[in-house]
Amino acid sequence: MKKLLLIGSLLLACINNQAQEKIEFKLSKKIALPGNGKWDYMSVDNDSKRLYVSHADRVHVIDLSNDQPIAEWTGLANVHGIAFSKKQNKVYVANTNDNNVVIFDAKSLTKTKTIELKGAIKPDCIFFDEFSQKAFVFCGKSNNTYVLDAKTDEVLAVIDMGGKPEFACSDDKGFVYNNIEDKNEVVVIDAKQNKIVNRFSLLENKAPTGLAIDKSHERLMVACEESEKMVVMDLKSGKLIAVIPMGKKTDGLIYMKGKSLIVTSDGGGSATIIKQESADKYTVQQILITQQGLKTISYEEKKARFFISGANFEADGKTIVPNSFGVFVYTMN
């Protein structure tokens, strides 16, 4: 009997070990896209199955049902952030060099309006908060945020951020969170009052860029480029919960809720896959080798795959190889 129990225990342990095997991702394809120049943010609209990709003077729109481009918005000026309002069927694009926001119709995929941001310098990240129905335009050099009403497209407020704003996210309860890159902190914006109500210090962790939220566990995940760490913070208090090593030149970060995974992408040529074991426990699952310059990331919920945009470089590591830009698609093994 003892022998049978021992065998049963060994089999159970074997099954548990197999169930806990590390999740790994691989490159499945590259979606080639025309044009040259630098790139930045990407945004996935999971409802319409579309991926919006910023690329120098244009935005590429990709149909994720077949991974084919369906539109290309050209004539822009150094595109950075892209966000969309599902209710208003609008896509907001940060036209960085012209210090304005260009709006496109999400159904017809045509340009509808340009909003001038008086006093803005380098509009970068754009985040749309569904709760308040407002678009937040974070400006990297004027250190402020322009709040736009989704219905009227009017500027409702300009918030002094006290430093250089980067990525943003929302708890869908009226609060928007934003990284302040040169102050090593996360600020909390009351979306109803259009003002900052709290500041969370990242302590010795420097240059926060990528930011994501786990609403169910009330956790913020912050990618800190200079210190090469991902910081997990308590959503309400700002208390540091965990610090996990990442790659060099990290920029983007996503939280894949359905898989309890965090992925950070870095320009040094890798992506770090981190498993959320619990609200307070995080372990590195995989160091995925990508290529130099692949630093901006987004993901598709239904297919549990993520996208990183980029191009190839010449031997000097700085010159972009002409017509080599595209979106790299990564799927689970």
Residue 248 inside a domain? The answer is: yes
Residue of 123, 129, 115 lying closest to 144 (CA atoms):
123
Predicted confidence band of residue 166 (pLDDT cuts 50, 70, 90): very high
Residue 143 inside a domain? The answer is: yes
Structure tokens at 325: 């830009």
Q: What pLDDT score was predicted for residue 333?
A: 85
Cross-strand pairs, 116: 100
* Residue 169 · residue 125 · CB < 8 Å: no
Backbone angles phi, psi at 264, to 5 degrees: -110, 140
* Residue 202 · residue 208 · CB < 8 Å: yes
Give the tens place of pLDDT for each residue, 300-329: 999 999 999 999 999 998 899 999 999 999
Residue 9 inside a domain? The answer is: no
Supply the DSSP symbol for 19: H
In single-letter form, the type of residue at position 48 comes to S
Inter-CA distances, 40 with 21, 96, 251, 290, Å: 33, 11, 10, 17
Predicted confidence band of residue 37 (pLDDT cuts 50, 70, 90): very high
Inter-CA distances, 129 with 22, 124, 170, Å: 34, 16, 7
* Residue 201 · residue 222 · CB < 8 Å: no
Mean pLDDT computed over 254-276: 95
Residue 1 has pLDDT above 60, yes or no: no
Structural domain count of the chain = 1
* Residue 267 · residue 313 · CB < 8 Å: no
Residue 9 has pLDDT above 60, yes or no: no
pTM of the model: 0.92
Supply the DSSP symbol for 249: T
Q: What pLDDT score was predicted for residue 21?
A: 61
Predicted confidence band of residue 2 (pLDDT cuts 50, 70, 90): very low
Residue 12 inside a domain? The answer is: no
Q: What pLDDT score was predicted for residue 150?
A: 96
Q: What pLDDT score was predicted for residue 20?
A: 55
Give the tens place of pLDDT for each residue, 127-157: 999 999 999 999 999 999 999 999 999 999 9
Inter-CA distances, 103 with 55, 99, 270, Å: 16, 13, 33
Residue 228 inside a domain? The answer is: yes
- Write the DSSP assignment of 22-66 as a string of letters: PP-EEEEEEEE----S-EEEEEEETTTTEEEEEETTEEEEEETTT
Residue 323 inside a domain? The answer is: no
Strands (E) across 117-183 are located at: 123-129, 134-139, 144-149, 155-160, 165-170, 175-180
Q: What pLDDT score was predicted for residue 15?
A: 40
In single-letter form, the type of residue at position 276 comes to Q
Mean pLDDT computed over 66-92: 97
Residue 83 inside a domain? The answer is: yes
* Residue 234 · residue 219 · CB < 8 Å: yes
Residue 165 has pLDDT above 80, yes or no: yes
Its domain, for residue 105, covers: 38-305
Look up the CATH number of the domain holding residue 112: 2.130.10.10
Per the prediction, the chain carries an average pLDDT of: 93
Side-chain-side CA neighbours of residue 228 (13 Å): 10
Residue 313 inside a domain? The answer is: no
Residue 18 has pLDDT above 80, yes or no: no
Give the tens place of pLDDT for each residue, 84-133: 999 999 999 999 999 999 999 999 999 999 999 999 999 999 999 999 99
Residue 19 has pLDDT above 60, yes or no: no
